[in-house]
Structure 1
Amino acid sequence: MSTSAENRGQFGSKLGFILSAAGSAVGLGNIWKFPGKAYFCGGGAFLIIYLIIVALVGTTVMMAEFTVGRKTHKNAVGAMRELNAKWSWVGGLGVLTGFIILCYYCQVGGWAMKYIVAYIVDVKTIWADPTAYFLNNLLGADGTFPLQGAVIFPFIFLFLTAYIISHGTAGIEKMSKLLMPLLFIMLIALMIRSCTLPGADDGLKYMLNVDFSTINGVAILTALGQAFFSLSLGMGVMMTYASYLSNEDNLISNTAIVCTLDTLVALFAGFMIIPAVFATGIAPGMGGGFGFATLAGVFMAIPGGQLIGTVFYFLLFFAAITSSTSILEGTIAFLVEEKGFERKKALLGASIVIFIIGVMYTLSQAYMNLKGIWISGDGISYPIFGDFLEYLTDRLLLPLGAFFTTVFVGWIWGTDNSVEEATSYGKFKFTLAPVYKFIVKILDPIAIGAIIIAGLVFGMSIS
């Protein structure tokens, strides 16, 4: 290992890295996007397509990022520059993408914290009108400045994220070892409770019934997009995390375990929400409105809803903060290693900018009148600081980052070099190496290119 690598932080154990990387992958998309997509795209047939895509595309893109990061022991920009200086901009694109995502991710994490408190002390106010509570208290749709939804709770969430990051890889590892097991315990408990509700049988049958006649091109692209985005690929985060590993770590098994854990969370979330939806007759959806308004209606309609809702928003908080720490670490590693900032100063400066942009994101949803400031595309208009940020990252920047990463690993750096790094130069066996090489060089660029085209040309929301 190089001297520079020795001076950097490292994960203290294999378990610490796996839980940290899985925590990065497990995010809001697993909890509130996957169930809705499974519901609208055919249930059991969609699950099978999703699993196949994760196995083929998700694991190979993740391993490609792992090998680049571990090979160089640098942040995303430094890693790409060391292997080929002309491609350092790809790492920069990933850092930028993660930074933008974090601006609104911390706001949503704050909303989860707000709902935890509200479910404990004031659940009747939420249940009086779940949709109005979400729009007014979090977004300020009634014209009242949403102090708690835009400022107080997002600030607390961002502060917690920065505090964890301030302790480097040790802080990330300790947080992941605590929260990831709790996340799984809560998720499994909620899934069991949901599946035992009166009327939940129809939901279970829907999720287990395999009818491939329900699968079309849109469903396949939706599964592809969900698998890709849920694994935190295209932001340089996995490169950065892998850069903290030693050559004694088995990247092949680590990749398989992280992808498996992330997929299990998505599947558990599906079996948690879809049976409850069938039991209550409330149609599912995706995104903030679904997570904070629709699901609040579901909890209101089932026995023990206050407790279940409280546990759910703790679950949402855990998923958000394990992802936000990984994204912020990617940004801070770049500022420290590439720009020469002291870690604490980098954290403070980045956090201030993230917080300001994040407040604008929440206020632009309903409180501020931004109807005169719109960017249009695909026949849809996106308000600045609002939906446009999600449009920019989900449909364009994330897939572009992953596309160029696979092109780089497949055709510039070379899959032979990637396989050598994955096996620690022959120390670990990689039976499927020929398959990996083919997928990274051919299949991954085609699949990710399809995501980009579907999102930009056809206006398809697949993230």
Structure 2
Amino acid sequence: MHQKRSQWASNVGFILAAAGSAVGLGNIWKFPGKVGAYGGGAFILCYIIIVALIGFPVMLAELSIGRRTQKNVIGAFRQLDKRFTFVGGIGVLTLFVIMSYYSIVGGWVMKYIWVYASGAHFGAAANPYQTYFADFIAKPVEPLLWGAAFLLLCIYVVVKGVSSGIERVSKVLMPALFLLLLACVIRAVTLPGAKEGLAFMLTIRPESFNGNTLVGALGQAFFSLSVGMGIMVTYGSYVPKDDHLVKSAVSICALDTMVAILAAFAIIPVVFVTLGAEGLGMGGGFAFMALPEVFAGFPGGKLFGLVFFILLFFAALTSAISILESCVAFISEEFHFSRLKSTIALSVPMTVLSAGYSLSQSDARGIKLPWLDFSQGFTMLPMNTVMEKFTDNLMIPLGALAFCLFVGWVWGTKNAVEEIESEGRYPMVMRITWSFIVRFLAPLVIAVILYFTLGRGEGLS
């Protein structure tokens, strides 16, 4: 018997779920770091322009594929042109690897919520926060247990289904995320001495407009919007034909950008108050090492830290749900499994890969894999680093490039526009501009990203 395909119960639910997918860990701590590294206001302006000119058109292309076919990402490409089924495969593989390590990082966030909520201490070492985090991730079992707890939460939501699970949770978590983020912003900007940080963010310095700022904004915008992985194809496949795709895509991009900018307002003034401008050197462990030190530096810091990590948890959970849903949609539709069986089939290999990612955090274990960097040749890197480079530096931009080339030159922008306009016609200038971006400008931008991440060995996500 043919099973009726799931659909979003409301357009608002779809927008919040898709925005939740786009709003992830990178928005909350990586975006403020990029603002600090690339000149404050100049970076924010570049970011907004690139989201509008590149991110939005690419997202709309993915949504159009999903709604036209009403299938998972692999099934969608097979239906439109069997020769390009591999493009959907790129997306599923990327998402599988991302979910394997995203669940571990989500577990770290849950651990920190417990630390703050229970009143536990980070220790009394010379660098207590850095030492605490290093000791925690080097443990063989505890990070795996927290990661498993995070994965189980995601599985529970996805098994409940599209409207009853994902949409319902998104309608609660996304407004809660905004409220918590606004609370953090209000506390941050009212701290004594916060004006210096605000001035840094709001001042646009001409000398900051350079190649590094542009490439940094390109990478952050591109990876922040959940494009290039097939998530928006899957979410688009649940959109009814009478929903307004363009307005939905605009809303998703706007919400994602708003969260990123609010996160910068919540974090950068606090960093300036406690650590000064030099505190903006934000590495991958910034949220778990530097920020607890920052929070401890002002009154009410423990409460602020608890709220921040709850906020980070909401962002991580909504993104992880979308990643898992895209993988489950592929398994359930292609192999005719139930949602429960599909998640079980995925969770076993994911757990194994997650264990490798977690265990490789300890140098003593020496879990390393080869990685080809065109600027350095083959090198042996820790497994966790290889997994992140594989998805962020290679597969996401490669998948996005394939999506654009497929829509622009194989399926054709004419067919895509026909799907986008199913709820109403748009001015010709908009159709021409969108087609030009998808066919020419977006592929060029993605090629630039690939050059900097592979040719020069620089990570942009």
Query: What TM-score comes out, normalization by structure 1 length?
Result: 0.94
Task: Quote the residue 1:260 is aligned against.
Answer: 254
Worse-superposed segment, 332-341 or 199-208: 332-341
Give deviations 1:147-194, integer Å, cap 9, x for gaps.
Answer: 322x21111100000000001102000110000000000011101111
Tell me the equivalent position of 2:192: 198
Residues 308-330 of structure 1 show CA distances to partners (whole Å, capped at 9, x for unaligned) of: 00000001100001000100011
Deviation at 1:32, TM superposition (A): 1.1
Distance 1:124 1:442 in 2: 54
| Distance change >3 Å, CA 124–CA 447, structure 1 → 2 | same
Q: 1:286 Cα deviation (Å)? A: 3.9
Structure 1 position 361 matched with structure 2 position 357: yes
Distance 1:373 1:18 in 2: 39
Does the aligned pair in 2 maintain the 1:127–1:297 contact within 8 Å? no
CA contact (8 A) 1:93 1:401 kept: yes
What is the SS of the residue equivalent to 1:383?
A: strand
Alignment partners' CA distance in 1, 2:79 and 2:370: 40
Query: Is the contact made by 1:25 and 1:232 (CA closer than 8 Å) also made in structure 2?
Result: yes
SS across alignment from 1:19: helix
Return the TM-score normalized by structure 2: 0.95
The one-letter code sitting in structure 2 at the alignment partner of 1:261 is L
Kindly state the Cα deviation for residue 91 of structure 1 after the two structures are TM-superposed: 0.6
Unaligned runs of 5+ in 2: none
Structure 1: distance between partners of 2:123 and 2:174: 28
Report matched runs for 1:206-217 at 5 Å: 206-217=200-211
Whole-angstrom CA distance in 2 between matches of 1:53 and 1:316: 25
Instruction: Specify the SS of the correspondent of 1:219.
Output: helix
Q: Residues 321-342 of structure 1, C-alpha deviation per residue, up to 9 Å, x if partnerless?
A: 1000100011011111123333
Amino acid at match of 1:125: F
CA distance in 1, matches of 2:131, 2:349: 30
Alignment correspondent of 1:59? 56
Q: 1:428, 1:203 → 2: CA distance?
A: 42
Deviations 1:366-410 (A, max 9, x none): 164217655453449553431110001001000000001000101
Residues 103 and 151 in structure 2, CA contact (< 8 A), matched pair in contact too: yes
Distance of 2:283 and 2:345 partners within structure 1: 29
Q: Take 2:386 and 2:305, find their aligned partners in 1: how far apart are those partners?
A: 30
Instruction: Name 1:227's counterpart in structure 2.
Output: 221
Q: 1:449 aligns with which of 447, 450, 459?
A: 447
Aligned partners of 1:35, 1:414: CA distance in 2, in Å? 38
Quote the Cα distance in structure 1 between the aligned partners of 2:124 and 2:19.
34
Matching of residue 185 in structure 1 with residue 179 in structure 2? yes
Aligned position for 2:335 = 339
Q: CA deviation at 1:360?
A: 1.5
Q: Paired residue for 2:148? A: 155
Q: How far, CA to CA, are the matches of 1:232 and 1:192 in structure 2?
A: 28
Asked if 1:324 is matched to 2:320, the reply is: yes
Distance 2:396 2:109 in 1: 24
Contact 2:19–2:255 under 8 Å retained in 1:
yes
Which residue matches 1:300? 296
Residue aligning to 2:412 = 414
Q: CA deviation at 1:289?
A: 1.2
Distance in 2 separating the partners of 1:18 and 1:37: 26
Describe the superposition over 1:4-38 as per-residue Cα deviations: whole angstroms up to 9, x where unpaired. 7x711111000100000000000011011111111
Whether the aligned pair in 2 keeps the contact of 1:24 and 1:326 (CA below 8 Å) is: yes
Equivalence for 2:268: 274
* Structure 2 CA distance for partners of 1:371 and 1:389, relative to 1, 3 Å: closer
Whether the 8 Å contact between 1:65 and 1:239 is mirrored in structure 2 is yes
In structure 1, give the amino acid aligned to 2:262.
F
Q: Post-superposition shift, 1:284?
A: 2.6
Give how far 1:345 is off: 1.3
Do structure 1's residue 350 and structure 2's residue 343 form an aligned pair?
no
Deviations 1:276-295 (A, max 9, x none): 11111151344541010011
State the 1:420 CA deviation. Answer: 1.1
Structure 1: distance between partners of 2:402 and 2:190: 46
SS in 2 for 1:89: helix
Q: What is the one-letter code of the residue matched to 2:155? A: A
Residue 121 of structure 2: aligned partner = 124
Distance in structure 1 (CA, Å) of the matches to 2:406 and 2:130: 46
Q: CA distance change for structure 1 residues 46 and 252 in 2, over 3 Å: closer, same or farther?
A: same
Q: CA RMSD in A?
A: 1.8
Q: Which residue identity does 2:354 align to in structure 1? A: G
SS of equivalent residue, structure 1 residue 8: coil
SS at match of 1:125: coil
Alignment of 1:163-178 (within 5 A): 163-170=156-163, 171-178=165-172
Contact 1:106 1:324 survives alignment (8 Å): yes
For 2:197 and 2:84, how far apart are their aligned partners in 1? 48
| 1:417 alignment partner AA | N
> How far is the alpha carbon of 1:115 from its aligned partner?
0.4
Distance 1:115 1:100 in 2: 24
8 Å contact from structure 1 (residues 250, 428) kept in 2: no
Greater CA drift, 48-57 or 354-363: 354-363
Which of the numbers 18, 23, 27 marks the counterpart of 2:24?
27
Q: Which runs of 5+ in 1 are unaligned?
A: none
- Aligned-pair identity in percent equals 46
**How many residues matched?**
454
What is the alpha-carbon distance in structure 1 between the residues aligned to residue 59 and residue 84 of structure 2?
18
Relative distance call for 1:112 and 1:347 in structure 2 (3 A) is same
The whole-number CA distance in structure 1 between the counterparts of 2:309 and 2:85 is 39
